[in-house]
Amino acid sequence: MNPSDAAPRTARQRPAPGPRRPTAPDGLVVVDKPAGMTSHDVVARMRRIAGTRKVGHAGTLDPMATGVLVVGIGRATRLLTYVVGADKEYRATVRLGVTTTTDDAEGETLAVADASAVTRADLAGPVAGLTGRIEQVPSSVSAIKVDGQRAYARVRAGEDVALAARPVTVSRFDVHEVRRAGERAAEDDEPVPAGALDVDVTVVCSSGTYVRALARDLGAALGVGGHLTALRRTRVGGYDLAGARTLDELLAWPEDVPLDVLALADAARATFPVRELTAPEAAALSYGKRIVAQPAEEPTDAAPAGGPVAGISPEGTLVALLENRGEHAAPVLVFAPA
């Protein structure tokens, strides 16, 4: 048969892509991160759920940790810089008597000591010493960069990494239950040293504080060593678990309906003091112009004084973040289109 008489070859037919999700409006989503996922994994899932690649998060959670991960969509990603700096609240379990390479349960055991004689009264002094403004040495497997490379990457490459102490603030370090380690069957997959103790705590701290470093330092102060076995973030600034949704709930969102989000104005109210704008002020700010300085509403714990103020229009939309500079208030970020 003449090759020219052969039937023309056709390219393999690829299955048609499924319908694209409608793009979510600009806003924040508070995710209850599950254990075993990185914060980047959550963002990757949220990009599909939100129908856009413009998604980011405010503050990394380790894979073993669960709880509040604030995710920004669209223009709300511009707010994340400020959310990252908000104070955070955690519920955690510290295991006394076992030291690990990573200061948490994901590392290899370095040393084991008998902590069975440690009492609640013994904890008071070391806990007080780790409360307030302290100098904390981060874990060597943290994401802090050393000469342009993450510390944890250097550790995995076999380097000895010593990080400098940095100032952090622990405003609360509350001790709850103290019990023999392993009493709760679901807590451990491996045998637990007989002399180990588990201490349940609540920590409220500034951005940049490592709770696993607190666990390490608490154990060191008691002379028995310690590490973190459980960590759940319950609040970031004005966002808490009450307003969080699980990934399963978000993945179950209807494919043909835009994802429901916390609107920009509501997100800003949870992060900043608020200034209610007049219509002329809103119009001026939308063009990047300054307006006359005025005090904002009273700051809250979630929205302290001294930072930017959220300018809200009479229609209830976020116009801009602004800062008082002498007699004028100047826009820092403008959200409303001119």
What pLDDT does residue 1 have? 47
104 part of the active site: no
Nearest alpha-carbon partner for 83 in 66, 67, 69: 69
CATH class of 272-334: mainly beta
pLDDT of residue 154: 57
Say whether 88-236 and 27-86+239-263 share the same fold.
yes
pLDDT tens digits in sequence order for the chain, 338 residues long: 454 455 454 555 555 555 577 999 999 999 999 999 999 999 999 999 999 999 999 988 989 999 999 999 999 999 999 999 999 999 999 999 999 988 999 888 999 999 999 999 999 999 999 999 999 998 876 666 555 566 556 556 555 667 789 999 999 999 999 999 977 655 555 678 889 999 999 999 999 999 999 999 999 999 999 999 999 999 999 999 999 999 999 999 999 999 999 999 999 999 899 999 999 999 999 999 999 998 766 555 455 556 799 999 999 999 999 998 889 999 999 997 64
The domain ranges of the chain are 27-86+239-263, 88-236, 272-334
CATH number for region 88-236: 3.30.2350.10
Tokens 């413009």 belong to which residue? 54
pLDDT reported for residue 186:
52
- Residue 54 has a CB neighbour count (10 Å cut-off) of 15
- Domain at 27-86+239-263: CATH architecture: 2-Layer Sandwich (3.30)
Catalytic residue, candidates 62, 87, 198, 217 = 62
Hey, which residues does 1 pair with through a beta bridge? none
- Return the percent helix, strand and coil in the chain, to nearest 5: 25, 35, 45
d(CA 284, CA 288): 7
pLDDT, tens only, 113-141: 999 999 999 999 999 999 999 999 988 76
Assign 99 to helix, strand or coil.
strand
pTM: 0.86
With 0-12 / 13-18 / 19 or more C-beta atoms within 10 angstroms meaning exposed / middle / buried, residue 193 is middle
Give the pLDDT confidence of 149-164 residue by residue, as tens digits: 665 565 565 556 677 8
